[in-house]
A = this chain, B = another copy of it.
């Protein structure tokens, strides 16, 4: 029999079906193979996958059909198609600037970090003890930002410069003691246009009066003015002296925000030194590809007084249970998911990976290297300025860093210069009024400079002419010279050889758990496979080297991909239109709510301002609603986790006149498909409200049901969950939204690039973090109908299998009508109060098993929410279940008095290898019980590098840069 099986060359039924490759991507993406599926179905107690789907997904929403998706491509074929698309993008040399510059990503950082799954498949460092590597790197980022801006404290990145400006405005709102009626935020008109647009959207729904005007006309003594923002150097390249203005503002209790440029700050006086309260900007030019708009890490920095108002993640040092320095996310109480409706920022996923790249760029170059780069850039600009002046053009300003704004003259018209530029495949920025600006960057070569000069000349420059204009460039920044040192800390002065840098990066990488080690079943986070094929195009210059404001005609490949992706997402969601602009889930929520509000305004219902949100919602939901100026009312949930329909009814009726929206999550954050989702939508609609359905749980829906069919009006999609963009240790992400037809006109437009929509910009870049969209596009293209349907089914099977195995050990309270869960489930850990064991202890103890814990204490207290995803094989699910069951047994030992409360393997978890090998071991349990509680840990184990972090200590003693950490370590 065996022989027969082997000897038979597999043949197919139809003509040339043998021509199809057997090695489909879906088989590689999905963890359990068919045999394993059968075993799992038995444990779950159903006969087939179909039966499980029928019993899990309400018939009222079940899709039961194929969608209009292309036939699946193999991995090779998708790469070919991506190459074709890439070849339809035309990479001109960009001198457009406006906050985006060409940069050289050092090849070693590209290979060893940017393209390294050990870095990009990490989650946000919620489990600090197994995340010390990237936490250290993020402290490096924060140090780069504080040192260069001259501020005291920086967060660990924001989404882009525009939203960072928005967050800064919100900080000013919160910080000011002025009355919040008719209050005014001043913005200099020479800020980058995309920043202005994002600020306009933000201001509109917060009731802030945004005055965009030349800062020279500002009157900061007006009582309504609470904050002011300017760009330094400004969008035309001019470096202006804002110190007098800032002083005046300070005297009037007006907070000042400086939007600035990190490379310029290596040479010019930083905003912190002339009194600014907040600095924001983009760190992209520290090695990160343009990527047609992103992802890049924006930054925000401020003084220590405002630390608790800083949005986003903040990494700080604390001590661990052994008294050593350890890093963690600090001041978490400021955060979205904690503050909920009191939140003033909705930032959740940010740009950790890109912040790490920027930080490593600084580590690799060091202060002198950065200054050398900046000086060369400045010299390029200065030489160019000299050349164009000699050619009869004039300069708008003589004080610039990298950007020369040229009033075209010298016998040439703007159109002639632009035509010449085009012939040289060069993009300039048309500033209007006869001005063209040219922004220089580190990639510009001698040839490039010569080409640029020629573009602005009637005849080509001679060698002698070139030598003379480049001979000794003038310093145009002498009035602004930076006097202070920066980045003097050892980390920025130790790893300048490639060998040293690689080892430093590897040391950090190896301190962290990522998907290359083990499953990371964080509920609501969908940590699934990020396939190498999906990631490939992200590194290609054809996708990486486009400026976001390049003419659309140069981005045909991208535009084609966007059309295909939008079409696929429309099909998958059941919506009529998609916007790719929001660059995180929360930003998608915001964009969706903004669309709802705009729609209401358009139909004369602008007064509607109440948003209902179930108590179980993710923290970003109320936070986004707050950012959109909505008033939040919580809807109760039933004991089984469903929306309390009676309460909903009552609230709808009560708020009927002012009901703007409801935000629901489907399947719910309790991991349950609610049967009455359509009724909820109908009810809200009946009362004039719109339905925002949070798409973070799309991994339970794709090809099985659709939010649009359920009756929702708008959803965001976390492409960094369901659609395979890696989480990057806390970003990048992408949060496109889908809307029904009536909301389509209110999707985000862009102020620079024609998106055929105006207003409601939510991101700096027209298509968000465009360069990671090939990941999601590839995933859909390789999976097709059957693959996607099966992925969803397997995500649900995997969750139900784990639930079935764990149920006897930990209560699973929330289930659907037939007793099954969706793609995730919650185990209750409240039963161990008697022995002082909480979900945190279990998560920390899981680290001793080499695992990253599930989501802790959310959406219900003292629980763990487990989401395995479809990419995990049965073997890995079993390892995780075995670990949790073994931990349950360890808890029982405490309950039975075998080990004391407060001094046991759980309460002391995690155990570092230094602890388990220390000479002074004095625990009541053996070392091997601490270190190797199950046999397979002897084969492979990823260790925590610090003991349990002390959260209280860290929040009390805020240390968020390398300086303070080394000082702290020295004093300790």
Contacts and interface: CB of A to CB of B under 8 A. Distances in A.
B107 A532 contact: yes
Interface stretch (A4-12, A239-247, A634-642): A4-12
Contact of A917 (B117, B473, B507, B916): B916
Contacts of A467: 15-16
B7 A531 contact: no
A357 interface: no
A510 interface: yes
A7 B482 contact: yes
A19 interface: yes
Given A6-B485, A115-B111, A532-B112, A497 B29 contact: yes
B499 A506 contact: no
Contacts of A31: 497, 499-500
Contacts of A516: 112, 502-503, 506
A443 B914 contact: no
A873 interface: yes
Which of A111, A375, A499 counts the most chain B CB atoms within 10 A?
Answer: A499
Contact of A535 (B27, B111, B483): B111
B470 A10 contact: no
Given A926-B919, A927-B918, A498 B107 contact: no
A380 B20 CA distance: 11
Contacts of A927: 917-919
A33 B496 contact: yes
Contact of A497 (B117, B535, B536, B871): B871
Nearest to A31: B497
Interface in A516-554: 516-518, 529, 531-533, 535-536
Contacts of A110: 532
A872 B498 CA distance: 10
B6 A379 contact: no
Interface in A424-471: 443, 445-446, 449, 466-467, 470-471
A107 B531 contact: yes
Interface string A113-139: 001111000000000000000000000
A809 interface: no
A9 B475 CA distance: 8
Interface string A467-494: 1001111010100011111000000001
A473 B15 CA distance: 10
A500 B873 contact: yes
Contacts of A872: 499
A714 to B, nearest CB: 33
A400 to B, nearest CB: 14
A111 B928 contact: no
A108 B939 CA distance: 23
B919 A22 contact: no
A875 B470 contact: no
A709 interface: no
A658 to B, nearest CB: 48
A379 B876 contact: no
Contacts of A498: 28-29, 529, 531-532, 871
Nearest to A10: B375
A529 B380 CA distance: 32
A177 interface: no
Contacts of A472: 11, 15
A932 interface: yes
A369 B23 CA distance: 7
A617 interface: no
Given A9-B375, A18-B379, A117-B111, A499 B871 contact: yes
A15 B471 contact: yes
Contacts of A873: 497, 499-500
Contacts of A503: 516-518
Interface string A864-887: 000000011101100000000000
A919 B445 CA distance: 63
Contacts of A477: 9
A938 interface: yes
Contacts of A21: 376
Contacts of A75: 106-107
A931 interface: yes
Given A375-B10, A484-B3, A500 B115 contact: no
B79 A446 contact: no
A373 interface: yes
A372 interface: yes
Contacts of A175: none
**Which residue of A7, A104, A369, A507 has the most chain B CB atoms within 10 A of its CB atom?**
A7
A753 interface: no
Contacts of A10: 371-372, 375
A23 B365 contact: yes
Contacts of A602: none
Given A107-B536, A917-B916, A507 B267 contact: no
B28 A497 contact: yes
Contact of A16 (B11, B471, B938): B471
A625 interface: no
Given A369-B23, A498-B29, A117 B112 contact: yes
A475 B7 CA distance: 11
17 contacts: A6-B482, A9-B379, A16-B446, A18-B375, A18-B376, A19-B446, A19-B470, A22-B369, A22-B372, A23-B373, A27-B497, A498-B532, A499-B876, A503-B517, A914-B938, A918-B927, A919-B927
Given A10-B375, A507-B940, A510-B510, 6 more contacts: A10-B371, A15-B467, A28-B108, A31-B497, A107-B536, A111-B532
